[in-house]
Structure 1
Amino acid sequence: MSRSTRFLAPILGILALALTGCAAPVTAAHDSTRAGDGTTTYPLTIENCGETVTFDQAPERIVLLESAPATILDGLGVLDRVVSLAGPFPDEYYDSGLAGRIDAIDTLSDRIDAAGHLTISAEVVLAQEPDLVLGLPDGLTRTGLLDGGSNTLVQPVYCPTGVEDTSFDSLYEQIEIYGQIFDRNDEAQELVADLKARVTDVESATANAPERTAAVLYPSAGGGPLYAYGRASMSQPQLEAAGFTNVFDDTPERVFEVSIEELIDRDPDVLILLYQGDDGGVEDEVRTLPGSDALRALTESNVLVQLFNFTEPPSPLSVVGLERIVERFGTGS
């Protein structure tokens, strides 16, 4: 069945007053029917989360188990190779053209557990006869999928071994790897150039910003743990480009549990709250924490609530998320 949810595009007038020349949120699609550039030599071997992955040819049947790579695939002109997808693909992520292309793809499952994780079996995935699976939800293994004939790629920030400090170069490198895999190296370079220009526009606009601090948080629903993002997350380069200091930039981990007392002690000027699915009053989750009324960001309403993929993992959506941050809080100049 095709997705019944309609994916409406955000009309981002992002930075309209503060910046000029910022592009629309998502890339223009290339001709997906043409042959590759002929610049990739197969078999191609890459390293992904410490695992060796070999491609004998460009993948032709993709199962997409997370939403973030969709913008890269579309930018390379290979989204039509996605035979099925699973999980939430929220309306706000895509422009109308990409929304329509995603809407036309068959959906295997949209079942999400209480923690926001996709639940799907290997049998359902392998029934699609993929040669590449993007994403590895709990319950699936690389070995099991490879035994069924499919390679698997995991976003580097989700590698079990962890990652070092993340930057926008992490995004550009990821796009270039996808370009190699699909023999769409020219398109990859075009996409990287566009994203670099947009990031540079923001950095130029915020270059003279006064000292400002921020925290990026993921509040759990129902009074569960509060998580913060450190140097290994994409929030670090986002905040730096937007003219902010991450109050948790002394923490090398990507994401970690933080107490309300620690957050109050660091007292960031602004809060960026991430969520998946329905926001479900994510700001209220923070406001109801004991002592949270001491946070200046809350008392002064300097809060941005946005969908998870606008920050993590590194994808073109992270650049949109950067632009949204500056749209919300200004350039500081």
Structure 2
Amino acid sequence: MTSSPTRRTVVVSLLGALGLGATACTAAGDGAQEGGAGADAGFPLTLTDCDAEVVLPGAPERVVLLDSAPVTTLDGLGVLDRVVARAGSFPDGYYDAELTGRLAAIPMLSEDIDTTGHLQISQEVVIAQRPDLVLGLPDGVTREGMRAAGAEVLIPRSYCGGLEERASMEMLFEEISTYGAVFDRTAEAETLVSVLQERIDAAAALPHGARTAAVLYASAGGGPVYAYGAPSMATAQLDALGIENVFADTPQRVFESGAEPLLAADPDVLIVLHEGTVPEEELLAELLGDSRLDPLRAVQDSAVLPLLFNFTEPASPLIVDGLERIGDWLSAQEQAG
């Protein structure tokens, strides 16, 4: 882990990440500065977002959220008031009462989520909001279509595909630094990174025991079960806590997993991610109702933790909330065991 980066460190980090090409979401601009020191000094700003070059003429003023993950980043930077509409799943469990209230005041375009957790929305509905920036790229919405309507698109680096390196908390810090540059809030980004680093260090200091874990995504309605590998922020969370992800040698961020790989790995604990569209008890009953999973130590020991999806993926301040929840749960189990 590193401490909060200075402004120079942030800019060097972003420029260096540009060399990652298609896998990176990074920023570079002429005269990038501390937030609040001048509205246009860091613009136009050129970003490499997955396989696309994005040019922002100025800090966005009309943002449409097609993904719940950026909410706490935007809030931490003080720019959530620039969101004019949202779509997707925004469970109350992610936010405190004050933030939940502010989100509720933002018009909702669609809550249609399929069984694999993907938003269903038409591009025309998004364009009607006249955004200059769209965060998220669900099926049916394209960069080209949004650009023709005067909006650019950014998505979390975790969703770019083609990631090969093992995830780390540095990916979270880089994501926040990029948003700081996008919204001309560099100083606020540095402060947010510093606060999150302190929380990560505190969670890591708790006793968790020498354990192994598998992180799964359970599709609603008894659909496929997915597991998370090396490039996932799930691995970064477990690494920070000193817990081994049994699928950390798998190069895919997420992959479909049947019972056999789980039985072979036999993790001590299971962390089950979900979208909050069905009660957790019902979700776990569907997942663990398969008798083939009965031999798992985690099932026998009732060491199964359900967790809302954005508490682990993609990189946002919510994953530090998730890290603390996982750490507290593991620590309680360690003390009880």
TM-score by length of 1: 0.85
Q: CA deviation at 1:179?
A: 0.4
1:258 aligns with 2:257: yes
Per the alignment, do residues 210 and 306 of structure 1 end up closer, same or farther by CA in structure 2, a change over 3 Å counting?
A: closer
1:43 aligns with 2:44: yes
* 1:197-276 equivalence runs, <5 A: 197-206=198-207, 209-276=208-275
| Distance in 1, Cα, partners of 2:165 & 2:122 | 31
Over the matched positions of the two proteins, sequence identity in percent amounts to 53
Paired residues, number: 297
| Distance in 2, Cα, partners of 1:119 & 1:223 | 20
Judge conservation of contact 1:59–1:182 (CA < 8 Å) in 2. yes
Judge conservation of contact 1:214–1:272 (CA < 8 Å) in 2. yes
1:90 aligns with 2:91: yes
1:303 aligns with 2:304: yes
3-state SS of the aligned residue for 1:115? coil
Structure 1 partner of 2:6: none
Which range is displaced more, 196-205 or 157-166? 157-166
Q: Which amino acid aligns with 1:259?
A: G
Judge conservation of contact 2:115–2:221 (CA < 8 Å) in 1. no
Q: Which amino acid aligns with 1:168?
A: M
Q: CA deviation at 1:275?
A: 0.5
Judge conservation of contact 1:260–1:290 (CA < 8 Å) in 2. no
Q: CA deviation at 1:37?
A: 3.3
Structure 1 partner of 2:31: none
Judge conservation of contact 1:216–1:272 (CA < 8 Å) in 2. yes
| Distance in 1, Cα, partners of 2:37 & 2:321 | 28
3-state SS of the aligned residue for 2:190? helix
| Distance in 1, Cα, partners of 2:151 & 2:97 | 31
1:35-56: CA deviations, max 9, x gaps? Answer: 8333952111011102111111
| Distance in 1, Cα, partners of 2:222 & 2:126 | 34
**RMSD between aligned residues:** 1.6
* 1:149-228 equivalence runs, <5 A: 149-162=150-163, 164-206=165-207, 209-228=208-227
| Distance in 1, Cα, partners of 2:314 & 2:164 | 12
TM-score by length of 2: 0.84
| Distance in 2, Cα, partners of 1:160 & 1:147 | 25
Structure 2 partner of 1:20: none
**Structure 2 runs not aligned, ≥5 long:** 1-34
* 1:114-125 equivalence runs, <5 A: 114-125=115-126
Q: CA deviation at 1:260?
A: 0.6
Q: CA deviation at 1:163?
A: 5.2
| Distance in 2, Cα, partners of 1:153 & 1:60 | 15
Q: CA deviation at 1:103?
A: 1.0
Q: CA deviation at 1:312?
A: 0.2
Judge conservation of contact 2:217–2:273 (CA < 8 Å) in 1. yes
| Distance in 1, Cα, partners of 2:212 & 2:181 | 38
| Distance in 2, Cα, partners of 1:101 & 1:85 | 12
